[in-house]
Structure 1
Amino acid sequence: MNSGHSELASLGDFQPADVWQVHVNHIFYGTKGPGIHQHFQTYVSRDHRLAYALADHFFKHCETLPTEVPLLVQEWGVGNGNLAARMLDRLKEIDTEGRVYPRLSYTLCDYSQEILNGVEANPDLQAHAGRYATALIDARDPEGAEPGSLTWVLSNEIWDDLATRVLIKSQGMLFEEYLQPLIEPAVIQGDFDTFVRQFQNADLDVLKTHPPFLDQIVWERAFQRTDVGDWPFGDVVNKHMESIDDDIPTPVNVGAFGTLEKAHRLLHPQHSAGYTGFDYGMLSTAHLNRVGRPYFKLYGGQYTSMVNFPLLAEVGQAAGFSQIELEPQHAYVGRSLEEPLISLLELVQNHPKVGEMAPWDVDVLMLETLQALNTHYRSPYTSKMDYPTLPGTPKKQRKLIAQLVKNLSTRGVPDTVAYVTESEVRAVEKPLRKLGYREKDIQRSFSLNDAPIQFCRLTLR
């Protein structure tokens, strides 16, 4: 394949997609640490509603257990610690008789010490001293707890970061995607050959000193004939590919397979609430076969893969789980709040003119929509949203954005991907109409049930 970029130089040879994905993500997390949160937000980075739903679910499960059973929870891939902090807040609040929270041991596990350092500095989590600990553990490693000891395992958006191979079926044969990283040498300060060695060796201490380069990488792609017989759960993968149409790139999240095996081994055989994971990807075979759907994304150089949830469910059964629940994440949280909900971002994306707007005008619309919602929305937490302007924003819009940010409520919607309910949106229909939203735009926002890529919940017991 020809990339069409003659000025680009290679950072390494073609290798299966999972090899380079794992390598570049190791560099991403190892060099940026807590700074990763400048590149993306998740549904748990600042919001509380998913955490509260999880806490309510776990509390109900614990009420069915004998009081002498220890409650050991592990979270794999911990972000900024907000999910754990808000879950513990909620558990403490609803445990009025002190039957659950005081005997809970919650361990936040991550393979990056940089990330754990950021979590340990989280003051909201520090409020629960004695109930939690941190551990430098890779979710794919077999170690981490005594087999059969854990009550619950949960993770949020880690499967998309883990090793993922990509298959295409064509005329009865399987082909695997290979990647090669390329970059313009001018991006790198200093000797380019020396940098290539540092990149290939993942020399994190030295790579931290370089100006940002990960988001400058261009990925060349090629496909080679393959046999999945020696892959993890190769027989399951082979069977799965029979349901996939020709020429559809299909993620095979082999790294996630390892987390399922590990969870099955560590969870208590009778008392566990299972392994609950949240991520974004394809919910059904029909979504897998949707022509043109994405199968990877880049965030500031981080290489993430869409999660093949039907295949994870099939692997979970093969790994020994007998009960499997798979649904949209919105449905899970909405059931907890007893009404439909969406993210603020989804509402803005359904504005009739958003596709015609310059990026800075979309920022203005986002902030004006926030202000409208904040006349009704009240968060149980105090926070002030940080909303930096995009490079190249004209002076007029830059000044307007700064003023809008200054006026944001500290008890308002905490994040652009925070959940808002239908009643909260309906309560501010009049100011939303003034911003150009129509009734059909709001209705469409709450009826996006067939998108090829969705945030999903998978629970295995």
Structure 2
Amino acid sequence: MNSGPPALAALGDFHPADTWQVHVNHIFYGTKGPGIHNHFQTYVSRDHRLAHALADAFHSFCQSLPADDTAPLEVQEWGVGNGNLAARFLSRLRDIDSTGCAYPRLQYTLCDYSLEILKGVEANPHLQDHAGRFATAHLDARDMGGLAPHSLTWVLSNEIWDDLATRVLIKSQGTLYEEYLQPLIDRAVLDGDFETFLNRFENADLEALQAQPPFLEHIVWERAFQRTDLGDWPFGEVVRQHMESIGDDIPVPINAGAFGTLEKAHRLLAPGRSFGYTGFDYGMLDLEHLNWEGRPYFKLYGGQYTSMVNFPLLADVGRAIGFQNVDREPQHTFVHRNLGEPVISLVELVQNHPRVAEMAPWDVDVLMLETLQALNNRYRSPYPNRLDYPTLPGTPKKQRKLMQQLIQNMNARGVPDTVAYITESEVRAADKTLRKLGYREKDIQRSFHPANAAIQFCRLTLR
């Protein structure tokens, strides 16, 4: 006789979605530390092209400052990842700053609320090339204390808004309802007494939870909706007006934690000599995407609970705070403009291969590496790198051996990651080899001209 599904035990009561998201993400970052990078990749984890585009734009801004402006250029990055974005930004700025208008005056501070993440950043060897130009700081991007008002030249963040407290609203027949969550888990995945674990989970006892077998990815989220009043919500009137443009029964993320970062940036940026606040994240770029029925509004990465970013609402809140100029666009467009030609990631190219949907996961890995090798005949990174591509559990011996051979033969200055920007000319230069791998012209065309998507990587700049 087949046993039924496991009986799930509650890890707490129903609370608004942001309450549980903040709690679980605190545990995730506090127990994983730099190991979080094993669960997801971003466009700045190993690549340099987004960092270079930012350095070029920042350098142009510095050149536009008055000649008698010799004050330090104070830059803060909020949410630092593995430090690669800062390292590549600083290297590019140093290389292009022939007049000394930017790099010698720069103080770049990497800020994060996780001490474990900061320890990993401080060990990044590429940052050591810029000793004296950077520092680290243990702080929360939403905390309004600390630095003096109007002291910063620029604030930068990459994929932090999706991690911050996010409430969820649904409108139905003119009434607003808020999403509530309850975490459940199968006791069998835990080690030791459940009540002891529950106490450690409720109190976020990070040291004790680190000793547990992996459990965050086993949490099951129960959902419910309760009628709500926006009277005590941050920027409640802006949120109310925003919801008037949303159709019925569509879950809408309200990135309240991100509101705090906008307020803090507005307070800290120096009027008249500020490059603004630039944030990158993934979510809905405009109202069309927000009203897209069935689009996702959250994701789970190894137990981390992330929310899609509502860019139109952040833009409205930014204006309400006092930013005069608010600009948003797809991240690919920003990098395209810097390089002068369209860009995609390797993953996007492989996803458009005609047979990828029917391939076993390890065969997709082989295709990924073969595609990388084809592109490396033209692609040249300014930075040497070692491609890290672990094999999946269960990969057959034949594919495992082939993957090891492909990795060993990779160009040290080739494409650094599967999530790295590659240009159309680099893809076209590999056209003959890509054809042998099964790519067709229409597959390449579709990669560079994809159908409209509800969720995109986007840039928001507020000045």
> Residue 130 of structure 2: SS of its match in structure 1?
coil
Give how far 1:5 is off. 4.8
Structure 1, gaps ≥5 residues long: none
Q: Which residue of 2 is the match for residue 30 of structure 1?
A: 30
Q: Which residue of 1 aligns with 2:56?
A: 56
Provide the residue aligned with 2:407 in structure 1: 405
Q: Partner residue of 2:344?
A: 342
Separation (CA, whole Å) in 2 of partners of 1:144 and 1:311? 27
Q: Aligned partners of 1:392 and 1:316: how far apart in 2? A: 48
Contact (CA 8 Å) 2:285, 2:456: kept in 1 or not?
A: yes
1:352 has 2:366 as partner: no
Deviations 1:39-62 (A, max 9, x none): 111100100000000000001101
Task: State the alpha-carbon separation in 2 of the partners of residues 299 and 329 from structure 1.
Answer: 21
| SS of aligned partner of 2:182 | strand
State the match for 1:65 in structure 2: 65
| Structure 1 residue 384 displacement after superposition | 1.0
Which amino acid in structure 2 is aligned with residue 180 of structure 1? Q
**Which string of whole-angstrom CA distances, capped at 9 and with x for unpartnered residues, describes residues 116-154 of structure 1?**
000000110011000011000100100232101100000
Offset from partner CA, 1:66-94 (integer Å, 9 cap, x none): 33232000000000000000000011000
Residues 169 and 252, structure 2, Cα contact 8 Å, conserved in 1: yes
Is there any run of 5+ residues in structure 2 with no aligned partner, and where?
none
Equivalent position SS for 1:109: strand
Counterpart-to-counterpart distance in 2, 1:216 and 1:20 = 15
What's the offset of the Cα at 1:283?
A: 0.5
Paired residue for 1:265, among 267, 270, 292? 267
User: Deviation of residue 101 (structure 1)?
Assistant: 0.6
TM-score when normalising by structure 1: 0.98
Alignment of 1:87-236 (within 5 A): 87-236=89-238
The partner residue of 2:245 within 239, 243, 246 is 243
Aligned residue number for residue 377 of structure 2: 375
| CA offsets 1:336-395 (integer angstroms, 9 cap, x no match) | 000000011111111111111111111111111101101111111111111111122222
The amino acid of 2:361's aligned partner reads P
The percent identity for this pair of structures is: 75
**Matched-pair contact (CA < 8 Å) for 2:6–2:186:** no
Q: Kindly report structure 1 stretches of 4+ aligned residues shifted beyond 2 Å.
A: none
Amino acid in the other structure paired with 1:41:
Q
Q: 1-side partners of 2:402 and 2:208: how far apart? A: 40
Cα distance in 1 for partners of 2:161, 2:99 equals 36
Output the aligned Cα RMSD: 1.0
Distance 2:414 2:229 in 1: 53
**Pairwise mapping of residues 75-94 of structure 1 onto structure 2 (< 5 A)?**
75-94=77-96
- AA aligned to 2:409 is N
Task: State the one-letter code of the partner of 1:236.
Answer: V
Q: Which residue of 1 aligns with 2:420?
A: 418
Deviates more, 1:59-68 or 1:368-377: 59-68
**Higher deviation after alignment, 449-458 or 259-268:** 449-458
Q: 2:281 touches 2:458 (CA, 8 Å); kept in 1? A: yes
How many equivalent pairs are there?
458
Q: Which SS does the other structure have where 2:347 is aligned?
A: helix
User: 2 CA distance for matches of 1:418 and 1:253?
Assistant: 27
Letter of the 1:55 partner, please give it. Answer: A
Give a deviation string over 1:268-300, Cα, whole Å, max 9, x none. 011000000000000010001111111111111
Instruction: Label 1:384 to 1:172 Cα distance change in 2 as closer, same or farther (>3 A).
Output: same
CA distance in 1, matches of 2:6, 2:258: 36
In the aligned structure 2, how far is the partner of 1:171 from the partner of 1:392?
50
- Does the C-alpha gap of structure 1 residues 140 and 449 become closer, same or farther in structure 2, counting only changes over 3 Å? farther
Per-residue deviation at 1:175?
Answer: 0.8
Q: Calculate the TM-score normalised by the size of structure 2.
A: 0.98
CA distance in 1, matches of 2:168, 2:357: 31
> Which of 382, 388, 391 is 1:389 aligned to?
391
Corresponding residue of 2:311: 309
Instruction: Name the aligned partner's letter for residue 217 of structure 1.
Output: I
- The letter for the 2-side match of 1:365 is L
